[in-house]
Amino acid sequence: MDLKDKVAVITGSSRGIGRAIALKLAGLGAKVVVNYRTNAEAAQEVVEAIQAQGGQAIAVQADVGDAEDAKRLVKAAQTTYGRLDVLVNNAGLHRDTLLVRMSEDDWNEVMHTNLRGTFNCTKAAMRPMMKQRYGRIVNISSVSGLAGNPGQANYSAAKAGVVGFTKAVAKEVGSRNITVNVVAPGYVLTDQTAYLPEELKAKAIEMTPLGRAGMPEDIANAVAFLVSEEASFITGVVLRVDGGLAMIG
């Protein structure tokens, strides 16, 4: 796979899965825009790691749930590198609790970043991608958005929304040589899952046929394929990268 001269924006890429995606795409030759909301130091570390391996990257602060911030993020890619070829909507957060205890803020904050952020960034990317008649978009969902998960009504709803959104947009922009796909991770070892009780972590691995937790690099490898020319005839798909955790449909 070769992404030389491609420009990629990865939202929420200062840590975890987003960081792994940024490093992977940069390693394949892409010029990368590392997005963060609050942790400038972590984002700069990713930029420096990319530069250390001979790549090009910048860090851009933006709250993707804010439409103007999303536009500014896309504009930064165009201003710095002259184009935008790849968008990975990875930014996301959890506010897990049972529905009877879930506040409106718990619901709204997850929707703001996980679903509205995907909408905002995709819409902002449409004009440059349609103009150049080329684009690769990958939206990060979750097996929770496919099968549901107790304690995650907000997260599951947002990630299910990402799937429906992806399929609709894929049908709208396919004629412009723009592909739009979903990667749905299972249980992956990141700082967002580190808070889980040990018994839940063990249960997740037990329910995974491959018998291990996923690593951020497992997700990054799938994203790299979907944004490559090898996947140019693939759009509107949901690729589960979950070790077999959610064998549905």
Catalytic residues: 155
Measured CA to CA, the distance from residue 2 to residue 166 in angstroms comes to 24
For helices 117-132 and 153-173, the axis angle rounded to 10 degrees is 10
| Burial group, residue 111, by CB count within 10 angstroms (0-12, 13-18, 19+) | middle
